[in-house]
Chains A and B, each alone.
Chain A
Amino acid sequence: MSLCNRNLKMSAVVVVHGGAWAIPDDLAKASVDGVKAAACEGHSVLKRGGSALDAVEAAVRALEDNTVFNAGHGGTLNTEGEVELDAIIMDGRTLGNGAVSSAKNIAHPVTLARAVMEKTSHCMLTSRGANQFAESIGMATVPTETMVTEYERKEWEKHKNYVTGVMEDFNAQWAHDTVGAVAVDCSGNVACATSTGGIRNKMVGRVGDSPIIGSGGYADNLSGAVSCTGHGESILKVTLARLIISHIEQGKSVADSSQLSLQYMGNRVHGAGGAIVVSPSGQWAATFTTERMAWAAVDHDVLWFGLDPNQRSKEQLSN
């Protein structure tokens, strides 16, 4: 935890997203409420002088607890009806990173990813190895019934008979409600975190972009922090997070960098998605090429949020 004076606190920002896809109206309010609450969680950490790393972990944990999102509790099911979770966390100060892929029945994959970063000399653990590690550090597994919602079970049944995870023409209609957060703290350190249950009816062991450094997320104090959401296979092909960072390195704004990168992904591989970005100086953006993206940010005690394109609503937070 870092201490800072009033002036430095001004640049602390947190941005979160709850997935870029055609969020149906019946999930819209819950999604927006969820990201707003998570942003406020992250903001509380920053406000009391916490690090960007602590803030993104707290925000993503809140989203993992919220069953409306496809991460932790509420995760989608693979083709065999199991929950397999991916997550990444990255510290822009050291470039330290930790990730898990295909971890089963963990309530907070982002915390497990952080443990990989801080308690091992590795960057990523997968599958059984990830679960063994969780056990070794006393992280409990949660029964599948507790993690899966009725809604998800019904959707899984419905889609079971279709070809698994096929990306035909436009993949924006598939649920991509990965969650993520980026933050810059009062010391100017940036961090990112992304967490997901993957795509519904994915093959057993399918790993998407979320836990892959440079694709699902990237953080570097020299440029900024990014968390991505959308069609995983497309994000991987263009290493979306790293692409956005490269544009920032070339001097473009966070908004332009995100816009250009998402457009490239659409043109080159016909993939749609979204990204949240924050720079070390506190500039931030929430951009998407899907129909909707649930996002929220807290900046200078103002809570910003949106769902539809060009929507930017705000609420003043009480001090």
Chain B
Amino acid sequence: MLPAVVVHGGAGHIPKERAQNSTSGVSAAARAGYIVLKGGGSSMDAVVEAVTQLENNPSFNAGCGSVLNVKGEVEMDAFVMDWKTLATGAVSAVRDIANPTQLARLVMDKTSHACLTAEGAKQFARSMGVPEVPMESLITEYSRMRWRKNLAPDANPVECQMGKMGTVGAVAVDSEGVVACATSTGGMLNKMEGQVGDTPCIGQSSNIHGQIFPEGHSQAVMSILKLCQSAEAASDSALAYMKSRVDGLGGVVTVDPQGNWAARFSSRQMAWAAAQKDTLHYGLYTGEHFTQSIDEPH
């Protein structure tokens, strides 16, 4: 059952014309994470690799392709956690870097803090020799178009949120049974400057008693998280609770130290992929679960 990696590219409503890119993107990221694990890499290395791929892929709301805040700028949040030591690292509202997840990992490895925000995060990036990239390089036509649309006075922000590409993330368990997670996002479309969602907040975008990893409308996700016995039951229970308690929709990817995993969502779609025992699993719509050999091209 070990090792295994599960990734998601966002829970929400993915327009048909973007669906193919979403599924191929998460599949490629799952493959990349799996290669790291098979090569003896740690679960932390695997999740960072997988999420880095998603950040570099302009189809997702993380790194390049991030949604824009109300001023038309990119501000990103990211989080990593290692369950062996409960070590965590996070950045929030960071600008002008390509891979916030890698910066979050540096916060974990190189500082005695758990989270750095905004200008402080950027200063730290500089001190670590992380290259600064022009904000323009992170902005796509699609994100600019959605931002403009959402500026209209009659725009429905929640509607628009569900129509966006979502937060990305990955969970993994390595051959030693150590689990890790990583999340990354550009946040909410047209958010206020400095808005921080669930992603960099421990316990919201990750959970210490397994690998619960919710994504979705961050206000709702921030309010609750629950646990059950199996990965699938736990995920479904948490999502149902979020719906009934605060009327929020989202998605969860989960893996436990034994390699049991689940990808569950209450939104219309969630692009997800998992790799285990040389098999690639993936899906987009509710109920979908496709499999193929990991070596087969997607």
Contact = CB atoms under 8 A, between A and B. Distances in A.
Nearest to A242: B203
B157 A121 contact: yes
A128 B117 CA distance: 10
A128 B193 CA distance: 8
Contact of A127 (B86, B113, B119, B124): B119
Interface in B187-205: 188, 191-197, 201-204
29 contacts: A102-B118, A121-B219, A122-B219, A124-B195, A124-B201, A126-B93, A126-B118, A126-B195, A127-B93, A127-B118, A129-B118, A132-B194, A203-B113, A204-B120, A205-B124, A207-B114, A208-B114, A212-B115, A213-B203, A214-B204, A215-B203, A233-B114, A236-B88, A236-B114, A237-B202, A238-B86, A239-B203, A242-B203, A268-B86
A95 interface: yes
B192 A125 contact: yes
B223 interface: yes
A95 B192 contact: no
A141 interface: no
A133 interface: yes
B153 to A, nearest CB: 15
B112 A166 contact: yes
B286 interface: no
Interface of A: 95, 97, 101-102, 120-130, 132-133, 164-167, 202-208, 212-215, 232-233, 236-239, 242, 246, 268-269
Interface residues of B, number: 42
Given A97-B223, A204-B123, A237 B114 contact: yes
Given A126-B194, A133-B194, A213-B223, A167 B112 contact: yes
B224 interface: yes
A233 B89 CA distance: 10
A166 B86 CA distance: 17
The 3 closest A-B pairs by CB, nearest first: A129-B194, A205-B120, A127-B118
B206 to A, nearest CB: 10
A206 to B, nearest CB: 5
A206 B86 CA distance: 18
A212 B117 CA distance: 13
Given A123-B197, A212-B201, A236-B202, A165 B117 contact: no
